[in-house]
Amino acid sequence: MRPPRQLEPPKAPYLSVDGRRLDPGNVFVPVKEGAELSLWCTVDGGHPAPTLSWLLDSAALDATRLDAPAQRHWRAEARLGPVLRDHHNATVTCLVSHVTLAAPLNVSLLLDVQ
């Protein structure tokens, strides 16, 4: 019988927009009004699996999970669109919750609607 696995905290999450990984220092994402955005939050590590969720400002966004448990690679996609003028300067945040964390990890971007 194998011993139970130790708890392992997840690593810092990162974001991808329309398939492109964002540079951590670049929080502004230019987007055309009326466009559709595919936002991905990815986190490596974590046992058990972390919980990933999305916020648009303070409102929850629906997300689709696409995980690779064997590699301990966790992903959640949120789709936003059509992007409205009202979304200008809105903050989109990915929250990563885990039993080992006192507070969720997070990573955010700001929408620059043009």
What was the pLDDT predicted at 69?
A: 79
Instruction: Delineate the domains of the chain, giving CATH numbers in brackets.
Output: 8-113 (2.60.40.10)
Total count of residues recorded for the chain: 114
Run means of pLDDT, 10 residues per run, the chain, 114 residues = 79 94 88 96 95 96 88 92 96 97 97 97
